[in-house]
Amino acid sequence: MYSKILVCIDGSKNARRAAKAGAEIALKFDAELHMLTVVRPFKATPKLQQFLEVENLMGEPKYVLDEMVKDILAEARKHAEKSGVKKLVTHVKEGKPARSIVAFADDNDIDLIVIGSRGVGSDIENMLLGSVSHKVSAMAPCTVVIVR
């Protein structure tokens, strides 16, 4: 039924639950499991850029972000492999989360998207404009499972 499953991860509690659910489904259907995390582009303001240069910290915020992303992916990969998933690929995309997830699913013929109900970006903007999971479920080219 499902041959390619996409799990969206961001380090949140619900994303961890989604990773577990996605791994279980992939195992059941012997599906290819793709784990995707989307980071927003990091843009330093001119004042922040000046501060970083004065303090000799060029690249440090991006480095910290990169390390965090590596840790999120490593944790999800470890759980999926421990669950017995054989076909596993991890991805990092930069951009707006919902649009990036939907574009990835469309470009890669994904059959099922598994996503947490609320992630680390659950701020006031999401409360006013809708959560990433809500946007993905509305725009996705395939079935979406939202995990709580």
**What is the CATH classification number for the domain harbouring 122?**
3.40.50.620
Within a domain: residue 140? yes
Within a domain: residue 127? yes
Question: How many structural domains comprise the chain?
Answer: 1
Within a domain: residue 21? yes
Within a domain: residue 64? no
Tokens of 54: 């004065």
User: What mean pLDDT is reported for the chain?
Assistant: 85
Of 14, 13, 10, nearest to 35 by C-alpha is: 10
Within a domain: residue 142? yes
Q: For 47-51, 101-105, 135-139, which range has the lowest pLDDT when averaged over its residues? A: 47-51
Within a domain: residue 63? no
Tokens of 84: 């017995």
Within a domain: residue 120? yes
Instruction: Note the pTM of the prediction, 2 decimals.
Output: 0.81
Looking at residue 51, its pLDDT comes to 66
- State the residue range of the domain holding 124: 4-41+71-147
